[in-house]
């Protein structure tokens, strides 16, 4: 590197270590200290983001429910209810068939 590209601050900040263990320990301690400093800020930002997500989900789900309740005709709502019921029934039948195939009933023991 030429003299123009060298950063005197980074050269002054570098330390010499006797062995790799000391360098690793120093770096580990510096990282832990920085994490402790940043933790409250990160924790606060995470809590705010989680709050906003929960608010959005609650708002959106209630909005859709209220919208459907007010603007969707009764015949359409009845159709959704009947379709959901039929879907659940078909799912139950398929699950029972699969359970019979996977775990068939054992034959009765023979009596002599």
Domain count, the chain: 2
C-alpha span between 8 and 102 (Å, rounded): 72
pTM of the model: 0.39
- Tokens at 53, concatenated: 């997500």
Domain, as residue range, for 63 = 40-71
- Both 60 and 83 in one domain: the answer is no
Quick check: is 96 in a domain? yes
Quick check: is 1 in a domain? no
- Both 65 and 85 in one domain: the answer is no
C-alpha span between 89 and 68 (Å, rounded): 24
> What pLDDT is attached to residue 112?
61
> What pLDDT is attached to residue 52?
95
Quick check: is 7 in a domain? no
Phi, psi of 97 (to 5 degrees): -65, -45
Quick check: is 109 in a domain? no
| Full pLDDT tens readout for the chain, 112 residues | 455 555 444 454 566 767 788 888 888 888 898 888 888 888 899 999 999 999 999 999 899 888 878 888 889 889 999 999 999 999 999 999 888 888 766 677 777 6
């Amino acid at each position: 590197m030429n003299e123009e590209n060298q950063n005197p601050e980074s050269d002054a900040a570098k330390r010499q270590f006797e062995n790799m263990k000391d360098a690793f320990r120093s770096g580990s301690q510096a990282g832990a200290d920085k994490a402790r400093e940043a933790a409250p800020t990160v924790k606060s930002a995470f809590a705010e983001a989680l709050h906003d997500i929960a608010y959005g989900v609650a708002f959106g789900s209630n909005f859709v429910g209220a919208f459907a309740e007010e603007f969707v005709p009764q015949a359409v709502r009845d159709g959704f209810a009947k379709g959901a019921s039929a879907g659940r029934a078909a799912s139950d039948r398929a699950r029972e068939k699969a359970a019979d195939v996977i775990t068939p009933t054992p034959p009765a023991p023979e009596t002599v």
